[in-house]
Amino acid sequence: MSNTVDTAIILELSRELDKLRKEQESCLLEINKLHKKLQSSPEVVEKSSDELLGKLRELYHKFKELSEKEVILLMTLNNEVDSFILHAVHRRKDGSEQKKKRMKADVDISRLSLAGSMRSQLELAACLKDEQVAARVTPDGAEEDEWIVVKVIHFDREAKEFEVLDEEPGDDEEGGGQRKYKLHMSRIIPFPKRIDPSSAPDFPTGRHVLAVYPGTTALYKATVVNAHRKKKTDDYLLEFDDDEEEDGSLPQRTVPFHKVVPLPEGHRQ
């Protein structure tokens, strides 16, 4: 993936995050207005309590949904920026001392600009408890990492570490069983909310993604065939790498929007 594409993705995610936070601010203003009205006008509460409290419940629910969307955006943006920075460091490592100093300054500025977002990300990571996410794990005896679907059990804010559960039984010599992993947050990618198709990005045709292969709980590299998701179901139409038919063609497979995430930089699967 080129630097131009990486930058475009980061800018797109940043715009989405800015728009989302404006929605949060507007929602919070409405909540505060209702709070003041309820506190300053007890007679209003007595006359129309059901209506006002119902409106307040709707606003709370909306703000909760916006916060959950923010978790997904922040973690995705963090992964994209980290990947971009690492790629830049690798590409420029043989440059002159002046270039290295300039590069370090650029990296420091990038990380500083993300400091506020990182704090919010840590605060909101707890929202992923009991949610399914994509996780990069290293199974016992395996030479390479794998991406699988796991369930979040706990988030350690200090260590920035998730405890997750692989709910699929293993196939080891002892008969298998569910496995737990402790993974740094950089190894976790949240899925879009199943109940909210708008939380899923609109990947352009030809974009590489990481998706759950139908009938499994493993994620593999795939290519978006059509930029427009299917109506009603909001499914993506994808072609998985190394999924050739006997004639060498790649079948087009339908994958639910809540089982597809951006392809991490450096993915080799």
Please indicate, yes or no, whether the overall pTM of this predicted structure exceeds 0.85.
Answer: no
Half-sphere exposure (CA, 13 Å, Cβ side) for 182?
A: 5
Which of 99, 125, 151 is where one domain is finished?
125
Token digits for 66? 């916006």
Residue range(s) defining the domain that contains residue 176: 129-185
Residues 19 and 120 in one domain: yes
Residues 114 and 181 in one domain: no
Q: How many domains are contained in the chain?
A: 3
Q: CA–CA separation, 247 vs 125, rounded Å?
A: 45
Residues 115 and 151 in one domain: no
Among the listed residues 180, 253, 179, 199, the one whose alpha carbon sits nearest the alpha carbon of residue 221: 253
Q: CA–CA separation, 78 vs 88, rounded Å?
A: 15
Residues 172 and 216 in one domain: no
Per-residue pLDDT of the chain (269 residues; tens, 9 = 90+): 444 445 777 777 788 888 888 888 888 888 888 877 777 766 655 555 567 778 888 888 788 777 777 777 777 777 777 667 766 665 555 555 555 545 544 444 444 444 445 555 556 566 788 889 999 998 777 778 899 999 999 988 888 889 999 988 665 545 457 889 999 888 888 998 888 887 788 888 899 999 999 999 999 999 999 877 766 678 899 999 989 888 888 999 999 999 999 888 655 55
Q: CA–CA separation, 67 vs 205, rounded Å?
A: 29
Residues 96 and 138 in one domain: no
